[in-house]
Amino acid sequence: MLKPRENRRLRVLIVDDYPIARRMFSTGLAGYGVDTCEAGDAAEALAVATEQSPDVVVVDLFLAGAAGYRKPIAHGPAAPGEQRRSSVDPRAARGQLGWEPRVALDEGLRRTAAWFRSR
């Protein structure tokens, strides 16, 4: 799928902590002529997004427990320089940039899906 104004393929960043889920998304989108890049966590996603400039970012919004995964989370020792905590909170963007969401998350996801279906 080409982006008409830039004459290049659509680029989608897939962010999910499960490699198989990222691979499934990437494989499925490749069939539509979409280029993908992948990240396993928020820190990696920011680095990849900075380097690859994706047009769309697909983020795993569901916690493992909400998906029925009941195994306790086991944490190993931190790697040097590893980020200890990560959370999504729009207050920083609101306070520092004056950013405000224009639509609710569910409406934004619905619109994004509709846009992809229309192409």
85 confidence band (pLDDT: 50, 70, 90): low
**Number of domains, the chain:** 2
Burial of 3 (C-beta count, 10 Å sphere; 0-12/13-18/19+): exposed
Structure tokens belonging to residue 13: 């960043």
Q: Please state whether 91 falls in left (phi above 0), alpha (psi between -120 and 50) or beta.
A: alpha
- Residue 63: what pLDDT? 39
Beta bridge partners of 35: 11
Domain boundary among 45, 61, 77: 61
Percentage of the chain surpassing pLDDT 70? 75
Rounded average pLDDT over 10-25: 87
Q: Which amino acid is at 22?
A: R
Q: Does residue 66 lie within any of the structural domains?
A: no
Rounded average pLDDT over 18-32: 86
Clarify whether residues 46 and 100 are in a common domain: no
